[in-house]
Amino acid sequence: MAENKNYLDDLTLLQANYKDYPTEPSKDILEAFNNQHPNNDYWITFNCPEFTSLCPVTSQPDFGNITVKYRPDEKCVESKSLKLYLFAYRNHNAFHEAVTNMILDDLVELLNPKEMIVIGEFRPRGGISLDIEARYQQN
């Protein structure tokens, strides 16, 4: 069991009663651990159906669903850190395209996955909805 503890040593957000919620998104919030099955080719999918950010023009809230799908290489994102990272966008003013691509860029920098897709499906504002799909693939 000591071997399993080592790969979790760098994870700081899994403590019970953690309440230091970030107010702005930052890649520094994200944590990763070593992939325990690096020789397997598999997908990991996270779905955040209550995502919120702010319109950069009106500062009105924009509601959406963020889906993160990736094929891990050496690292996997720790889910609570991802939740806190996505939660931090609630006070962030940015267009939907920027938000979706920022999430992709930060996660790719953290994980260097084999492949990643971030999909932002935003609720209608002014009678029209907007979906963005940003992709990354290792060379």
Q: Is 76 a catalytic residue?
A: no
In three-state secondary structure terms, 52 is strand
* Residue 3: band (very low, low, confident or very high) from pLDDT cuts 50, 70, 90: low
Q: What would be the CATH architecture of the domain defined by 2-12+31-137?
A: 2-Layer Sandwich (3.30)
Non-local CB neighbours of 23 within 8 Å, separated by 6+ positions: 88, 91
Q: Annotated catalytic, 48? A: no
Distance CA 90, CA 82 (A): 14
Model confidence, pTM: 0.86
Of the listed 20, 41, 62, 105, which one is catalytic?
A: 62
- Domain boundaries in the chain? 2-12+31-137
Residue in 122, 115, 120, 91 with CA at minimum distance from that of residue 103: 120
Could you read off the pLDDT of 69-88 as tens digits, one per residue? Answer: 999 999 999 999 999 999 99
Q: What percent of the chain has pLDDT above 70? A: 86
Spot the catalytic one: 55, 76, 106, 131: 55
- The predicted-structure confidence for 41-55, as pLDDT tens digits, reads as follows 999 999 999 999 999
